[in-house]
Structure 1
Amino acid sequence: MTDRRRVCSLGEAPPGDESRPVRLADELTELARGLHDADAPDDVLREAVLAAIDLVPGTQAGSVTVLVGGGKRVEHKAASGTLPARVDAVMSEYGEGPCLDAVLERRIVRVDDMRRETRWPAFAPRAADLGALSMLAFPMFVKDGSFSALNLYAGDPGAFTDDAEHVGRLLAAHAAVAYSGAQREENLLAAIETRDLIGQAVGLLMERYSISSGRAFDTLVRFSRQANRKLRDVAAELIRDAEAGALR
């Protein structure tokens, strides 16, 4: 995992500051490299949260919300501290909040003062009590149907401006593409590993019972169904048992 902490906040642009768009482009280019160099999907999310704290004006903390299991379960990842973790837990408890709206409605959700918020009657008072008076939630959208959002928090009302929305939107777009790519790579590696495990298990069965590869594979599938376990897990156990027997 790369270290993004060397990036400094861009802050609000002073009037007539024509260099800021160039600096922002440079920072986002560096961020894109860091995200694509991350070792795993969760590393991408941690990189994105750290970058948001550095780059998005007003941000004090961040996290990522991911809907899994066909959108039936909420996972909170890469929380930068206790505030986002506690606020995200309240959102899960009540099933409402800016993060969920951003994910499900695929739009940016901004909260200027949680104490006066009426969109989430159960969530808002609890979040305000925890100290999250300002929030920004960005959908991390890619065409593969993933459901996630980058969530930013501040302890002061009115912490986020239109400029913060602009920077956060660009950052979230970079993070979404990198996260999707990391997931695909992880799934591909897992598929290759699964194929190799099944191949080894089939070879063991062929040798043990003097049967063809087709019959060996069918036998492995039958074991999997009878045990109600994944084929990969059955193959891995068969290989472990064979290795353990060879060491005796």
Structure 2
Amino acid sequence: MTVSNRDLALRMAELARATAMPRSLMDILADVTSAATELIPGVDVAGVLLVGKGGAFETLAPTSDVLFEIDQLQMKHVEGPCVQAALDETVVRTDDFREDQQWPKYSPEVVKLGILSGLSFKLYTADRTAGALNLFGYQADVWDGEAETVGMVLAAHAAAAIIASREGDQLQSALTTRDRIGQAKGIIMERFNVDDVQAFAMLRQLSQDSNVKLSDVAQQVIDTRGS
């Protein structure tokens, strides 16, 4: 059954509002994968795969536990639509894994799980991490151009949520570091009877001499406050 343009627009608007609200990344990604099963005919299971450096990977917001097995197979063989989409292609479409010749190790094993078709969309996340929104079906030959279009829109929502989450984490980390350095400066000012500029200069000199990050030096000063 094809989803009407009105229903699609309403669902996309809901997702946009959800992305802008103060909700957890996992909740937003769960909305995206759930929407994929609702809006795209032929999608039986959906999830997000993140691939980091060194081959580390993480399966997020799966609509079924079979996604964990699918992702493990791909990382085990270092081949498959999710890996290809995450690292190379923008959209990877497989109409029938039984006839697929691209992934000779992966495809036969995923068919054993009952998966016959797949659509994977690259998530533009960050240089350090690649990602893909992955959709799978228990039937073959179910995808059309509309499925790819809706999938790309959902992938954009997922990528935006991941980027926003990381920016939030980075901001919180920066604020924590600033507070830590400020606290360490206060300790040095009190201990050595110096002003703010001199205290920071002492911290920076300690960092350079010991080849330790400024924030770590500040934490060491805080930890030895009672010494």
Asked whether the two chains share a fold, i.e. TM above 0.5, the reply is: yes
- 2:32 corresponds to which residue? 48
Partner in structure 1 of residue 211 of structure 2: 225
Match of 1:192 among 147, 158, 175: 175
Equivalent residue, structure 1, for 2:84: 101
- Give distance in 1, aligned partners of 2:80 and 2:207: 44
* Residue in structure 2 matching 1:85, options 48, 61, 68: 68
User: Does the CA contact (< 8 Å) of 1:12 and 1:163 recur in 2?
Assistant: no
Q: CA deviation at 1:38?
A: 4.7
Q: 1:85 to 1:241 in 2, by over 3 A?
A: farther
**TM-score computed with the length of structure 1 as normaliser:** 0.77
1:213 and 2:199 aligned: yes
* 1:178 corresponding residue in structure 2: 161
1:2-27 deviation per Cα after TM superposition (whole angstroms, max 9, x unaligned): xxxxxxxxx425xxxxxx11221121
- 2:122 is equivalent to residue 139 of structure 1: yes
Q: Give the direction of change, closer, same or farther, for the CA distance of 1:241–1:155 in structure 2 (3 Å limit).
A: farther
**Per-residue CA distance 1:84-119 (angstroms, 9 max, x = gap):** 111101111111110111122232111222222110
Mark the CA change 1:224 to 1:56 in structure 2 (over 3 Å): closer, same or farther. Answer: farther
CA deviation string 1:46-96 (max 9, x = no partner):
332222222222222222122323x75433322233101111011111111
Q: Output the CA distance in 1 between the equivalents of 2:167 and 2:103.
A: 35
Identity of aligned residues (%): 34
Residue 131 of structure 1: how far off its partner (Å): 2.3
Residue 12 (structure 1) aligned with residue 6 (structure 2) = no
Distance of 1:224 and 1:123 partners within structure 2 = 49
CA distance in 1, matches of 2:97, 2:80: 11
Residue 93 of structure 2 aligns with an amino acid whose one-letter code is R
In the other structure, the counterpart of 2:112 is 129
**TM-score, length-scaled by structure 2:** 0.83
Partner AA of 1:60 in structure 2? D
Query: Aligned residue for 1:167?
Result: 150
1:47–1:236 Cα change, 3 Å: farther
In structure 1, what is the Cα distance between the partners aligned to 2:143 and 2:76? 26
42 and 204 in structure 1: CA distance in 2 versus 1, 3 angstrom threshold? farther
Structure 2 counterpart of 1:76? 59
Q: Once superposed, which parts of structure 1, at least 4 consecutive aligned residues long, lie more than 6 Å away?
A: none
Displacement of 1:237 after TM fit? 5.6
Q: Matched residue pairs, number? A: 223
**Structure 1 stretches of 5 or more lacking a match?**
1-10, 14-19
**Superposed CA RMSD:** 2.7
Aligned-residue offset at 1:169: 1.4
Classify 1:235/1:58 alpha carbon distance in 2 versus 1 (closer, same or farther; 3 Å). Answer: farther
CA offset at residue 138 of structure 1? 0.8
Q: Deviations over 1:162-190 (max 9, x none)?
A: 33222111111222223222322221222
Residues 97, 214 of structure 1: CA spacing in aligned structure 2 closer, same or farther, 3 A cutoff? same
Q: Which segment is superposed worse, 215-224 or 84-93?
A: 215-224
8 Å CA contact retained: 2:44, 2:137 = yes
CA distance in 1, matches of 2:218, 2:41: 51
Please name the residue that 1:113 is paired with. Answer: 96
CA contact (8 A) 1:40 1:186 kept: no
The aligned amino acid for 1:57 is P
